[in-house]
Amino acid sequence: MSDLSTRIAGRAGRITLTRPKALNALSPPMSVDLEAALDAWRDDDAVAVVVIDADGERAFCAGGDIADIYHHGIEGDYDFARAFWRQEYRMNAKIAHYPKPVITLMQGFTMGGGVGVGCHASHRIVGHSVQIAMPECGIGLIPDVGGTFLLGHAPGALGAYLGLTAARMGPGDAIGAGFADTLVPEQQWPELIAELERTGDPAAIARFAATPDAQPLIDALPQIDQHFAHDTPGAIAASLAGDDSDLAQGALKAISRNAPLSMACTLQMVRAGRDIDDITAALAQEYRYTHRALAQGDFLEGVRAQIIDKDRNPKWAHDGPGAVSGTEVDAMLAPLGADELNLEGV
C-alpha cells in the first residue's frame, strides 16, 4: 500500500497524498496508484471531477523520492530509474489529457515531481503558502515531468531563469508564469472541496478566488530577459557577473553551484519547449536525458551530495556553466532509438 488515499466522495474522485512527514515526496508506488485511480475513473459516470490534494501544511509534494533510484544506480542498475520515469511521465501525460476536469490544490513546497502532479491539471489552485520550483539542475538532472513544457511557455526568458536557478515562485508568480490558475486561501479549501464533491462542477472555484498581492519575478521580467535571453549558460553567467543587483548576484550564485551539463541541456530544452504545443513531446525529450542521466550525467553524484551524504559539495563533470560543449548537449538529447519514450494511447 502506498502513501496515497484514493476514494469517491459524492461526484468527485479524490486523490490525497498522505506522506506529510516526508513532504509528500512521490514514491514509485504512489505514482502507480495515482495513475490507476485516473484509469479507473476515466469512464465512471459517478465521477464528474477529480480532486488532488495533500495532507499537511508544509508541502503538496516536494519532489520525487529518489533515494531508491540512487541505491539501484550505484550498483549499476539503471533500469529501475528508467522504469520509474517512464511510468511517472505516463501519469503526468494522463493528468494533462484527462477527459474530465482535474483540480489540484497546492500548498507549501511543490517541486519537481510535485509540479508533474499539480501543474498539468485543468484547474490548478494554489494557496498563499505555495513555493513552486524546478530544482533538478542542483542534482544533475533536468526539469522533467513536463517541466520543460511549462518553462518553455513562461513569459520572456523567465523559464530559462527558473530552470537554471531553481528559483521559487509564490502564488502570484506561479500564476503569472503559467504554473497555476487561481489563488484560493487555504482556509477555504475544505469548503471548496465540499462544494466540488456535492456538485462535480469546477465553476465553483471562481467564487473562492482571491487576487495575489505580489509578483516579484513577473515584475523583474525585463531584468531577467536581459540576462537569460543569452544562448548558453556561460554567456548568461558572464552577463550576470556585470550586474551587481541582488537578483543578478543571487542568480549567478545559483548557476555557479548547479550541474553545468544539466543547465546546458535545460536551456536548450526550454527554448525548444516554446514551440511544443503538447506535453507528450516535452516528456519524450526529457526522457532522452533522464534515460542517460545515471550512466552519462551527473545525477548520481548530485543525489549523493544533496540527499545521501548531504555534504552539499558535488563534484560535477564540468568546471562551470561555460564548460559544456554543444556536442555534449546533443549527445545527451539525441534520439534513443528503440528506447524512446512511448506514450501512445495516453
The grid coordinates of residue 219 equal 515584475
CA distance 173 to 131: 10
The grid coordinates of residue 60 equal 503538496
Label the pairing between strands 12-17 and 4-9: antiparallel
CA distance 27 to 12: 24
Specify whether the CB–CB gap between 127 and 185 falls below 8 A.
yes
What one-letter code names the amino acid at 277? D
Instruction: State the pTM of this model.
Output: 0.96
Could you give the percent of the chain with pLDDT greater than 70? 99
- Phi, psi at residue 14, to the nearest 5°? -110, 130
**Given a cut of 60, is residue 253 above it in pLDDT?**
yes
Mean pLDDT across the stretch 185-211? Answer: 98
CA distance 68 to 106: 25
Label the pairing between strands 12-17 and 49-54: parallel
What integer pLDDT is reported at residue 346 of this predicted model?
A: 75
CA distance 271 to 298: 22
Specify whether the CB–CB gap between 80 and 44 falls below 8 A.
no
What integer pLDDT is reported at residue 1 of this predicted model?
A: 55
Q: Give the DSSP H/E element, type plus range, for residue 149.
A: helix 147-152
Mean pLDDT across the stretch 153-163? Answer: 98
What integer pLDDT is reported at residue 341 of this predicted model?
A: 97
What one-letter code names the amino acid at 154? A
Specify whether the CB–CB gap between 261 and 298 falls below 8 A.
yes
Could you read off the pLDDT of 120-132 as tens digits, one per residue? Answer: 999 999 999 999 9
The grid coordinates of residue 233 equal 549558460
Could you read off the pLDDT of 39-88 as tens digits, one per residue? Answer: 999 999 999 999 999 999 999 999 988 889 999 999 999 999 999 999 99
What integer pLDDT is reported at residue 344 of this predicted model?
A: 77
**Given a cut of 60, is residue 145 above it in pLDDT?**
yes
Could you read off the pLDDT of 303-322 as tens digits, one per residue? Answer: 999 999 999 999 999 999 99
- Concatenated DSSP letters for 257-326? HS-HHHHHHHHHHHHHHTT--SHHHHHHHHHHHHHHHHHHSSHHHHHIIIIIS-------SSSSTT---H
CA distance 306 to 316: 13
Could you give the percent of the chain with pLDDT greater than 90? 96
Domains of the chain, earliest start first: 4-339 (3.90.226.10)
